Amino acid sequence: MFSIYKKELQSFFYTPFAYALTALFMLLFTYMFASPIAKLESTNTLMFSFTEIFYDIIMFFIFLIPIITMRTFADERKLGTEVLLMSSPLNVAKIVLGKFFANVTVFLFMIAGSALFPIITEMNGEVVVSQLICAYIGFFSWGTMFIALGMLISSFTESAIIAAIIGEFVMFVDLFLDDISRSAFVSQYPKLQSLLTAFAAQPRFAYFSQGFIRLSDLVFFASAIIVLLCWTYISIERRRWNRG
> Over 70: is that where the pLDDT of 80 sits?
no
> Over 70: is that where the pLDDT of 79 sits?
no
Largest CA distance in the chain: 72
> Over 90: is that where the pLDDT of 90 sits?
no
Q: pLDDT tens, 135-153?
A: 888 889 989 999 999 999 9
Q: pLDDT tens, 152-209?
A: 998 888 888 888 899 889 888 888 887 888 888 788 878 888 888 888 888 888 788 7
Mean model confidence pLDDT for the chain? 82
- H helices present in the chain, as ranges: 2-13, 17-38, 50-61, 65-69, 74-79, 82-86, 92-112, 116-124, 129-154, 160-175, 177-181, 184-187, 190-199, 202-209, 215-242
Helix axes 17-38, 92-112, angle to 10 degrees: 40
Domain extents in the chain? 2-26+47-242
CA–CA separation, 28 vs 24, rounded Å?
6
Quote the Cα angle for 205-211-217, to 5°.
40
Residue type, 7: K
What percent of the chain clears pLDDT 70, i.e. is strictly above it? 87
Question: DSSP code of 89?
Answer: S
Could you tell me the pLDDT band of residue 61, with boundaries at 50, 70 and 90?
confident
Per this entry, what is the length of the chain? 244
